[in-house]
């Protein structure tokens, strides 16, 4: 062993394993496709409250994944250590919208594909996936559902109100019903014939009807 070997640095030797051009091209493409994923997410979001930070996370996740995979493919020993390091990471953030899982997996997949050098697959695949999401998520296959909360004094008033609701809506399904001290409360899912909700005014003015509230919702009922 010579004096030069003592100060030999393996860290400096690994600098040239990934070229600057490869790093710049991979990160630039990851940023571009991540921005496209963010745009598709923004256009297809159907939740209650839009989160801009989640959209930025999709861009960052694409770039971070491509950077990690680029480092892994350049060094086998590093890949083994990185797998062990990432295995101890735990995420506690709850995913409220099922479609958000698809966007997260899309960002991770694009980062892996770009770092592997399959640029056409990442670009063309992302365009196709984005178009499919824009078409199917924004497509209205059915009319928006509503929840009607109806309070009546007695059974006769409830029957009259239900008959009137049946003539004003396309579909009416009772979801729950409760009765206490002569007051009957019914929760119903409605599909309106059109966007006109003026029938609620006439419904609340009927004899025996205490109140009528119409609420739009996004969700599914089982059963």
94 shares a domain with 24 = yes
Q: What is the pLDDT of residue 2?
A: 55
Burial class (CB in 10 A: 0-12, 13-18, 19+), 66: buried
46 within a domain of the structure (yes/no): yes
222 within a domain of the structure (yes/no): no
129 shares a domain with 152 = no
Q: Among the three residues 137, 158, 181, which one is the final residue of a domain in this structure?
A: 137
CA–centroid distance for 220 within its chain: 16
175 shares a domain with 105 = no
Tens-of-pLDDT digits for all 223 residues of the chain? 554 454 445 544 555 566 778 888 989 999 999 999 999 998 888 766 677 888 898 999 999 888 888 877 766 556 655 655 555 556 566 677 778 888 989 998 999 898 888 889 999 999 999 999 988 887 655 567 888 888 888 888 888 888 888 888 888 888 888 888 778 888 888 888 777 788 888 888 888 888 888 887 655 443 3
pTM of the entire structure? Answer: 0.63
Domain of residue 41, residue span = 3-137
18 shares a domain with 87 = yes
The CATH number for 188's domain is 3.30.70.260
93 within a domain of the structure (yes/no): yes
169 shares a domain with 68 = no
Over the Cα atoms of the chain, what is R_g? 29
223 within a domain of the structure (yes/no): no
170 shares a domain with 120 = no
Cβ atoms of 106 and 34 closer than 8 Å: no
Q: What is the pLDDT of residue 218?
A: 58
221 within a domain of the structure (yes/no): no
Q: CA torsion 172→146→222→42, rounded to 10°? A: 150
57 shares a domain with 149 = no
185 shares a domain with 83 = no
Q: Among the three residues 137, 158, 185, which one is the final residue of a domain in this structure?
A: 137
Nearest Cα neighbor of 118 from 74, 70, 72, 64 is 70
98 shares a domain with 27 = yes
Q: What is the pLDDT of residue 7?
A: 45
Q: What is the pLDDT of residue 47?
A: 66
Cβ atoms of 186 and 158 closer than 8 Å: yes
124 shares a domain with 106 = yes
57 within a domain of the structure (yes/no): yes
Give the total number of structural domains in the chain. 2
The Cα angle at residue 136 between residues 135 and 141, in degrees rounded to 5 = 120
Q: What is the pLDDT of residue 127?
A: 94
100 shares a domain with 186 = no
155 shares a domain with 128 = no
């Amino acid at each position: 062993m010579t004096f030069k070997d003592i100060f030999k640095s393996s860290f400096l030797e690994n600098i040239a394993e990934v070229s600057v051009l490869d790093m710049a091209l991979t990160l630039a493409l990851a940023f571009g496709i991540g921005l496209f994923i963010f745009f598709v997410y923004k256009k297809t979001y159907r939740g209650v409250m839009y989160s801009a930070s989640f959209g930025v996370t999709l861009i960052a996740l694409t770039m971070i994944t491509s950077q990690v995979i680029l480092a892994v493919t350049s060094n086998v020993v590093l890949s083994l250590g990185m797998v062990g390091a990432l295995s101890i990471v735990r995420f506690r953030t709850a995913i409220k919208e099922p479609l958000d899982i698809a966007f997260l997996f899309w960002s991770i997949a694009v980062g892996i594909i770009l770092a592997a050098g399959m640029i056409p697959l990442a670009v063309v695949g992302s365009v196709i996936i984005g178009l499919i999401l824009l078409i199917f998520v924004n497509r209205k296959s059915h009319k928006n559902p509503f929840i009607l909360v109806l309070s009546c004094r007695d059974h006769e008033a409830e029957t009259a109100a239900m008959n009137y609701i049946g003539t004003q809506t396309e579909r009416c399904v009772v979801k729950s019903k409760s009765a206490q001290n002569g007051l009957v409360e019914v929760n119903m899912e409605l599909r309106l014939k059109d966007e006109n909700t003026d029938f609620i005014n006439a419904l609340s003015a009927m004899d025996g009807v205490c109140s009528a509230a119409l609420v739009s919702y996004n969700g599914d009922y089982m059963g």
